[in-house]
Amino acid sequence: MELNYRSHYAAHVAEMQKRWELALEAESFMAALVHSGSPMYSFLDDYEYAFRPNPHFLAWLPLTSHPDSVLLVVPGKRPTLFYFQPVDYWYLPPSDPEAYWADHFNIEIVRDSADWSKALKSHLPDADPGLGDVAAIGDSPSLQAVFDDKWINPAGLIDRLHLARTRKTSYEVACIGASADRAARAHIEAERAFREGESEYGIHMRYLAACDHTDAQLPYGNIVALNSHGSVLHYQARERKAPEKSLSFLIDGGCTVNAYASDITRTYAREPGVFADLVAAMDAMQQELTAKVRAGLDYKELHLETHRRIAQLLESFQIINVDAEEAVGSGLSSVFYPHGLGHFLGLQTHDVAGLIDNRGHEIPRPDGHPFLRLTRVLEAGNVLTIEPGLYFIAPLLEMWREEREPSMINWARVEELAPYGGVRIEDNIHVTETGGDNLTRAAFARLQ
């Protein structure tokens, strides 16, 4: 895979123009205006929250820290970028446009965040006086000063754009691959910090240093979990003090390149033993699942197969006292594996359109699986995660003990393994007609 995303950018912009022209025509709009977003302030304060641009803006432009810039897309014309570059001495203003992306746009530098609205009608002389044939995309309050609410984020157009985003261009795949490279370096450093006895906070800081990110640049808050904290699926705390004994380490962390995310999870045991064997078995099973990924695969079915595989691990490691088939049929497998197999990945960690078909109709989740984020039949160009897990989650185990048949669980084995929390292995896969490119394993292999 070519990771030099700049070499793919011209073709990406051409594809974006084609997709948006088709979507605008289908929804009877003559143009679309995409606002990057505006800073948000905390209540009764002048402190700004970390800024993240509108992903529809980022799909066109690698401008990840540029509030109040606006892109105008008109079929048959080169897109126009109103590039907000204020004269400022409180904050560092955006740098001058770079040729590799700027050459594909008409660029107008604006010094005031409202200047785009003053120039808009001169760029759209044939538009309806009320701009009813122009779609506005974004969440900036400034859009409401110009557009009627019904033309802001029109559902039909948004669905079409979201569906188009599920099929990644070569530029997008290269950005995700480059992001995986960054994250792989950081994961290796995080494991090293775990082996050296660092705290969760210390591991996290080593991760950031290795990938050259701040917290705000991460695609999501890293999960850095030692011991039983690994049983909290979205564990958010980072203990400053290392535990007396670090038994296990689960890290779910990604990086970004041009806002495109990687999302990688690894689990480690400090010493050989049953939990280390469970990690190895999960890793082997996860690779068998990723080998099945290809265009035409029903992701729902792969998720259901994962439950069967998890149940087989539960049986073989003597965590349950029933066979795998009964564990799945009774719902027992969901006590140990309560989340979905994965999700689309791109400009958003949990990327869009995972639950609708190509006509925008909902694809229901399988009964009993409310947390699955992807139910589509896969297509070439999709990028997604495969992340099976097995956990010892106290509230779910107690619920089973109180409400179902407790003899189905080997409680002695659960007590033995609960201090380790759980295990999850997650890779990012690019779907092709003939299989899946594992962007994560390739990134780790390049570091060997």
Q: CATH number of the domain that 414 lies in?
A: 3.90.230.10
Which class for 338: exposed (0-12), middle (13-18), buried (19 or more C-beta within 10 A)? Answer: middle
Which range is least confidently modeled, 80-89, 206-215, 363-372? 80-89
Q: Are residues 159 and 70 in the same domain?
A: yes
333-351 confidence digits (pLDDT tens): 999 999 999 999 999 999 9
pLDDT value at 1 more than 80: no
Q: Are residues 239 and 300 in the same domain?
A: yes
**Total structural domains within the chain:** 2
Mean pLDDT, rounded, of the chain: 95
The parent domain of residue 393 ranges over: 170-446
Per-residue pLDDT averaged across 420-435, rounded?
Answer: 97
Q: Are residues 40 and 26 in the same domain?
A: yes
pLDDT of residue 311: 98
Q: Are residues 60 and 34 in the same domain?
A: yes
pLDDT of residue 3: 66
pLDDT value at 205 more than 90: yes
Q: Are residues 156 and 175 in the same domain?
A: no
Confidence of residue 90 (pLDDT cuts 50, 70, 90): low
Per-residue pLDDT averaged across 16-29, rounded?
Answer: 98
3-state secondary structure string across the chain: CCCCHHHHHHHHHHHHHHHHHHHHHHCCCCEEEEECCCCCECCCCCCECCCCCCHHHHCCCCCCCCCCCEEEECCCCCCEEEEECCCCCCCCCCCCCCHHHHCCCEEEEECCCCHHHHHHHHHCCCCCCCCCCEEEECCCHHHHHCCCHHHECCHHHHHHHHHHHCCCCHHHHHHHHHHHHHHHHHHHHHHHHHHCCCCHHHHHHHHHHHHCCCHHHCCCCCEEEEHHHHHCCCCCCCCCCCCCCCCEEEEEECCEECCEECCEEEEEECCCCHHHHHHHHHHHHHHHHHCCCCCCCEHHHHHHHHHHHHHHHHHHCCCECCCHHHHHHHCHHHHHCCCCCCCECCCCCCCCCCCECCCCCECCCCCCCCCCCCCCECCCCCEEEECCEEECCHHHHHHHHHHCCHHHECHHHHHHHHHHCEEECEEEEEECCCCEEEHHHHHHHHCC
pLDDT of residue 433: 94
Domain end call among 139, 165, 191? 165
Per-residue pLDDT averaged across 85-98, rounded?
Answer: 79
Domain CATH code at residue 74: 3.40.350.10
Q: What percentage of the chain has pLDDT greater than the value 90? A: 90
pTM of the model: 0.96
Domain end call among 165, 197, 226? 165
Confidence of residue 132 (pLDDT cuts 50, 70, 90): confident
Domain end call among 165, 188, 223? 165
271-330 confidence digits (pLDDT tens): 999 999 999 999 999 999 999 999 999 999 999 999 999 999 999 999 999 999 999 999
Q: Are residues 345 and 300 in the same domain?
A: yes
Q: Are residues 225 and 88 in the same domain?
A: no
Per-residue pLDDT averaged across 113-122, rounded?
Answer: 89
Per-residue pLDDT averaged across 6-15, rounded?
Answer: 97
pLDDT of residue 130: 81
Q: Are residues 44 and 75 in the same domain?
A: yes
Q: Are residues 89 and 182 in the same domain?
A: no
Q: Are residues 414 and 303 in the same domain?
A: yes
Q: Are residues 125 and 194 in the same domain?
A: no
Per-residue pLDDT averaged across 154-178, rounded?
Answer: 97
Q: Are residues 189 and 92 in the same domain?
A: no
